Amino acid sequence: MEHKTKLPILLEKSGTGYSAYAKEYPAIYTAGENIQEVKENIQEVIEYQIEYLEEQKKIKEAEVLKNSEIEFYLDIQQFFEEFKFINKSAFAEAIGESPNYIRKISRGFVKLSDEKSLKIEKGLHKLGKELMSVHFT
C-alpha cells in the first residue's frame, strides 16, 4: 500500500468569506464565500497545479501532489463560529473538558495549547464517528 503524503490546507476567515492555501505550494490558494465552496475551489486549484507541473516536465512533483491526502486546518474560533449549532457546554462535557474553557478558547480569550487542541480534535472526530453510526428507523 502506497503511503500518501499529507497536504495541509489552511482555512481562514476573510472579510468576504474564507480563503485557503497550502504553505508548501505558493501557487495553491483560493477563496470562497463559505467553507464548502473554498474546499471545492482548492480541489480545482490542485488539479491545475498538477497539470502545470506535468507541462513543466516535473512528473515526480506532480505525482507527489496527485497522490497527496488533503487535510484541512481551521482555527478553533473559526470552527465554533462556522458550526454555531454545536452546543459548547455539551461538547465540552462529552470530551471531558471544562465548558468554561471551551467557551473561552472559542472566543479567543485563552490561547489553545497543542495538547488541548489535540484533545478537542480527537473528541470531535470521535463524535463524528459516533454520528456516522446512527441510523433511523
Q: What's the longest Cα–Cα distance across the chain?
A: 55
| Residue listed under C-alpha cell 506535468 | 54
Per-residue pLDDT at 56: 96
Report the predicted TM-score, pTM, of the whole model to 2 decimal places: 0.81
Residue 23, pLDDT score: 93
State the pLDDT confidence band at 3, using cuts at 50, 70 and 90. low
Q: What's the distance, CA 16 to chain centroid? A: 19
What would the pLDDT profile of 58-111 be if each residue is shown by its tens digit? 999 999 999 999 999 998 988 998 899 999 999 999 999 999 999 999 998 998
Under 8 Å between Cβ of 49 and 25: yes
Q: How many domains does the chain have?
A: 2
Place of cell 441510523: 135
Contacts for 107 with CB less than 8 Å, ≥ 6 apart: 77
CATH code of the domain containing 66: 3.30.160
User: Does residue 17 lie within any of the structural domains?
Assistant: yes
Look up residue 134 and give its DSSP letter.
-
pLDDT at 4: 83
pLDDT > 70? residue 2:
no
Mean pLDDT value across residues 28-38? 95
CA-CA distance, 32 to 106, in Å (whole number)?
Answer: 23
User: Is 85 found in the same domain as 63?
Assistant: no
Same domain, 54 and 111: no
- Lowest-pLDDT choice from 1-5, 14-18, 111-115: 1-5
Q: Please, what is the average pLDDT of the chain?
A: 93
Q: Are 120 and 103 in contact (CB under 8 A)?
A: no
Same domain, 18 and 45: yes
Residue 26 CB: number of other CB atoms within 10 A? 8
